[in-house]
Amino acid sequence: MSMDKVRAKNFYQDDGDKTMLNWFLYEYSNIVYSKIEENPELKNYRKKHCANEIEAFCVYLSKRLKKSINDAQTGHTKGITIDARYVYEFYPENTYQQTQRLLDSALSAWNEHVLVCSNCPNKCLIHGYEITEMFDNLETTGWPTRKHNQQK
């Protein structure tokens, strides 16, 4: 899977934003993008929206999960919520059916990402607000980052 569909620069403005949580969301947004590409039921969606628009949606969706992730980590909720409201905020005229398909892709991406992350030594969700070099490594060495290469 190519991890270049959604640009990492969407997740930071300066070095203070280069956190583990933002890295996790960057990776998640790329998986959402891939799930949208793979989903045959979203063929019409892909025809209507160019790559930049799909990228913008994936970034928006992933960033909207920050509060849900925080609520789950602090015990305010039992888990994260991928809410249809996030889709309608970005696409106010979206149909119910297309919204459900996008949510299915987002949930599938979440499940895949959490599974992969469970074996990753970085533990981005646990150390979410720690600064990471992974964004800088991505800029200098390309994908995958040095830390990910050390896993192999």
Report yes or no on 69 lying in a domain: yes
Q: How many domains does the chain have?
A: 1
Report yes or no on 118 lying in a domain: yes
- Cα–Cα distance for residue pair 69/64, rounded to 1 Å: 9
In this predicted structure, the answer to whether residue 116 has a pLDDT above a threshold of 60 is: yes
Report yes or no on 2 lying in a domain: no
Report yes or no on 36 lying in a domain: yes
Report yes or no on 127 lying in a domain: yes
pLDDT band of 152, cuts 50, 70, 90:
very low
Residue 129: give the domain boundaries.
8-151
> Full-prediction pTM beyond 0.85?
yes
Report yes or no on 45 lying in a domain: yes
- Contacts for 66 with CB less than 8 Å, ≥ 6 apart: 21, 25
Report yes or no on 112 lying in a domain: yes
DSSP string computed for 75-132:
TSSSS----HHHHHHH-TT--HHHHHHHHHHHHHHHHHHHHHHTT-TT-TTTTTTSB-
Report yes or no on 3 lying in a domain: no
Asked if residue 35 lies in contact with residue 105, where contact means CB atoms within 8 angstroms, the answer is yes
Question: Which pLDDT value is given to residue 19?
Answer: 96
Question: Which pLDDT value is given to residue 99?
Answer: 97
